[in-house]
């Protein structure tokens, strides 16, 4: 069997049938090629895979002391590929489901308290082109709860600022409409009027982009650029560890629930397919309630 051929067929199936993103496809390709390479070496030539080969792969991953999450991801990708081969009639049905993934310890998302968010949003110098752009980025991330990947893909035509709405393309190329707060709407409007044209004029090739956020050279801002901007300001206002731009998304959801928002509404705003992904924020708010209670109640 030409496994490389069937791997490409499988990735095409994920892209066309499942709307998998390029990053997801790359991760699947890397994990499955790792499995195939290992099996070829251990079996002195690639044999038809079965559950025993999957167990060997699992043991090898554990020996490398990878995190449980990484092992679970690699095993899931490989098992999906084997199911695809079986569906296409290339291999017999195997007991792949019997090879259990390592249990994942659920970690509570890292978030910022409201005073920390306020300090972060006030950190950029709003008198400069880049400073005001940075303020607009941070305000929008917090006000909408969108992911960094969604933010850098925003186009000018994505905005409906007169209605305080933005059209966002999330995972699986699924679109959703998210509301934006009054403060963020005002800052984005000012950025578009006064500061984005100045950034666009810096493009030496005189190329015209319709991306909402541009870098210092007038090109579309990258994922790495947003993370650099966030890290620059978060280090000024917080000493918490493991705080990333995604923490603003966590803060957005946590603060909504603390304010009484319905869980289903928060699910829609975040673009979660399953409400189970949203329910983790209820644990955070309970933890916060307990923290406030023990700090304030006089008979502890």
- Active-site position among 135, 147, 196, 250: 147
Positions of the chain with pLDDT lower than 50, given as ranges? none
Specify whether 56 is catalytic: no
Specify whether 250 is catalytic: no
Number of Cβ within a 10 Å radius of residue 173: 9
- Active-site position among 9, 29, 272, 288: 272
Q: How much is the pLDDT for 145? A: 94
Bridge partners (DSSP) listed for residue 169:
175
From 84, 86, 93, select the one nearest 9 (Cα to Cα): 84
From 62, 147, 154, select the one nearest 99 (Cα to Cα): 62
Q: How much is the pLDDT for 293? A: 59
- Active-site position among 101, 171, 176, 227: 171
Number of Cβ within a 10 Å radius of residue 217: 10
- Active-site position among 9, 51, 55, 246: 246
Q: How much is the pLDDT for 54? A: 82
Chain centroid to Cα 213, Å, comes to 18
Q: How much is the pLDDT for 124? A: 97
Specify whether 171 is catalytic: yes
Whole-structure pTM value: 0.70
Specify whether 216 is catalytic: no
Specify whether 281 is catalytic: yes
Query: Which pLDDT tens digit goes with each residue over 181-223?
Result: 999 999 999 999 999 999 999 999 989 999 999 999 999 999 9
Query: Which pLDDT tens digit goes with each residue over 90-105?
Result: 887 766 666 776 676 6
Q: Residues 265-275, buried b or exposed e (16+ Cβ, 10 A)?
A: ebbebbbbeee
From 224, 201, 203, 221, select the one nearest 212 (Cα to Cα): 221
293 burial (CB, 10 Å; 0-12 / 13-18 / 19+) is exposed
Q: How much is the pLDDT for 46? A: 53
Contact indicator for 186, 135 with CB cutoff of 8 Å: no
- Active-site position among 28, 191, 233, 281: 281
Specify whether 239 is catalytic: no
Ramachandran assignment for 235, one of left (phi > 0), alpha (psi -120 to 50 degrees), beta (any other): alpha
* Domains located in the chain, CATH noted: 3-98 (1.10.150.130), 114-296 (1.10.443.10)
Q: Which residue has the tokens 């993934």?
A: 101
- Active-site position among 133, 249, 250, 255: 249
132 burial (CB, 10 Å; 0-12 / 13-18 / 19+) is buried
């Amino acid at each position: 069997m030409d496994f490389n051929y069937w791997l490409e067929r499988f990735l095409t199936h994920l892209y066309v049938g499942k709307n998998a993103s390029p990053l997801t496809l790359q991760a699947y390709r890397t994990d499955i090629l790792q499995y195939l390479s290992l099996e070829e070496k251990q079996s002195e030539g690639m044999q038809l895979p079965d559950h025993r080969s999957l167990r060997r792969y699992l043991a090898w991953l554990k020996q490398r002391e990878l995190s449980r999450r990484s092992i679970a991801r690699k095993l899931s990708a490989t098992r999906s590929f084997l199911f695809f081969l079986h569906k296409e009639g290339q291999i017999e049905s195997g007991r792949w489901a019997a090879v259990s993934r390592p249990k994942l310890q659920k970690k509570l998302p890292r978030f910022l308290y409201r005073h920390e968010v306020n300090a972060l949003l006030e950190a950029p110098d709003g008198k400069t082109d880049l400073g005001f752009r940075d303020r607009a980025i941070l305000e929008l991330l917090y006000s909408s709860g969108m992911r960094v990947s969604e933010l850098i893909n925003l186009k000018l035509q994505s905005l409906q600022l007169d209605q305080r709405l933005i059209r966002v393309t999330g995972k699986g190329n699924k679109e959703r409409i998210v509301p934006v707060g009054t403060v963020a709407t005002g800052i984005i409007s000012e950025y578009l009027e006064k500061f984005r044209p100045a950034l666009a004029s810096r493009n030496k090739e005189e190329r015209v982009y319709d991306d909402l956020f541009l870098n210092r050279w007038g090109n579309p801002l990258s994922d790495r650029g947003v993370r650099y901007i966030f890290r620059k300001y978060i280090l000024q206002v917080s000493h918490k560890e493991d705080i990333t731009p995604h923490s603003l998304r966590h803060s957005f959801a946590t603060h909504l629930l603390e304010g009484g928002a319905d869980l289903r509404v928060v699910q829609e705003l975040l673009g979660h397919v399953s409400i189970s992904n949203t329910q983790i924020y209820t644990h955070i708010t309970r933890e916060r309630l307990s923290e406030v209670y023990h700090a304030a109640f006089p008979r502890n």
